[in-house]
Structure 1
Amino acid sequence: MPSRTWAGTTLDDRKAARRAQLVAAGLDLLGTEGSAAVSVRAVCRAAKLTERYFYESFTDREELVVAVYAQVGAQARQALLDAVGTAAEPAHRARAAVTAFVELMVDDPRQGRVLLLAPMTDPALTRRGIELLPAFAALVVGQLSHGDETDRQLTAIGLVGALSNVFIAYLDGSLKVSRDRLIAHCVRLVLGADVPHD
């Protein structure tokens, strides 16, 4: 049975649009004011929707926070995949990947704070942050050319940890360097990690 339309949109379309409004509001609150600022009431106020519409899409605040995190994580992963797919040389791939990540996470610091800082303060995201690391490490493994599979896995995990901490320090303000220097340093980390093993 086809969904009824109103003003040219279906019920499912309107529900999806409201969900997107709530996720956008959650991203804004979580990425600017932090975990403590994200409540059902605050998200509804920011999205200009009633709580009834919140519960149409989410069972509770934690489910919304996880949805915000999942969306940012998926965007970051896709940006990295797209970046490494456009360059043939390792140095160009490294620069493309780092630049794509910076554009997503630093140029819109809300997204960086959600992906890298929020899991440290929001219990709903702590496990999610741990679960996402292997996905990023797997991306890095695919770009490494030296050592056996275990060597590449060890290198990738260490590299993701090192890069994450550099970005965390940049986003929380404890590392004060220019955007260009941040990119250059991270590219050197990536290229320096892929060296022949004895």
Structure 2
Amino acid sequence: MADAERTWAGTTLSDRRSARRRRLLDAGLDLLGTGATVSVRAACRHARLTERYFYENFADRDELVVAVYDEVAGRAHEVLVDAVSGDAIGAEGGARQRARSAVAAFVTLVLDDPRLGRVLLLAPLAEPALARVGGQRLPMFADLVREQLSDRVDEQDRVLTATALVGGLANLFSAYLSGAIDVPRERLTAHCVRLVLGADALHS
């Protein structure tokens, strides 16, 4: 029997490794998502694991930071994809309904658990490890927006509009999460919907 399949206390070695990695990722999310200092020691203390288990999963603290960011970015993308799917808005859903569904889903994600919003939007501004990674992940959100825009204009215009819109919305949510903008959640949502619909109107 392979080592990874040997059981101890009812779990395999592979299961225990996965559980330890999950604990470290959760610790990284807590630290990065609250603006705390992320270090190997801090992550291990938060996860209640020794450094031996940290290095079993990550080469260094930067690799942990990137892994946490990638997981949050992937979750945000999945939420947005689900929000604009036919199942979410119905067969007759138009641009307005798709915009409302997507904005509401994103607002729920980043405001109900502010750690996620801070990791996704604020951490890349403060974390050298994410300076390049954040920019590399931005196109996947722009691509999602581009797919929702009217196809009455050429592809380059759709790319330009989607990129500008994603950048603008990211700055808006960053300001909201940092406390620079203080408005009710409902007003923030309504304003973002108008921005999305206004961008699509450019292509009508």
User: TM-score normalised to the size of structure 2?
Assistant: 0.93
2:114 matches 1:109: yes
1:196 and 1:189 map into 2 onto residues whose CA distance is 11
Displacement of 1:196 after TM fit?
4.5
1:197 and 1:76 map into 2 onto residues whose CA distance is 26
Displacement of 1:43 after TM fit?
0.5
Large movers: runs of 4+ above 4 Å: none
Taking the TM superposition and a 5 Å limit, the aligned residue runs for 1:76-155 are 76-85=76-85, 86-87=88-89, 88-145=93-150, 146-155=152-161
Cα distance change of structure 1 residues 197 and 71 upon mapping to structure 2, 3 Å threshold: closer
2:41 matches 1:41: yes
Task: Work out whether residues 80 and 106 of structure 2, in 8 Å CA contact, stay in contact via their aligned partners in 1.
Answer: yes
User: Could you list the runs of 5+ residues in structure 2 that have no partner in the other structure?
Assistant: none
Which residue of the partner structure matches residue 176 of structure 1?
A: 182
Q: 1:142 is paired with a residue of what secondary structure?
A: helix
Identity level (%): 63
User: TM-score normalised to the size of structure 1?
Assistant: 0.96
Which residue of the partner structure matches residue 8 of structure 1?
A: 10
Q: Which deviates further from its counterpart, 74-83 or 2-11?
A: 2-11
Q: Which deviates further from its counterpart, 71-80 or 8-17?
A: 8-17
Q: In the alignment, residue 40 of structure 1 is paired with which amino acid?
A: V
Residues 135-184 of structure 1: per-residue CA shift (max 9 Å, x gap): 00000010001421111111100100110011000000000011111100
Task: State the aligned residue count.
Answer: 196
User: Could you list the runs of 5+ residues in structure 1 that have no partner in the other structure?
Assistant: none
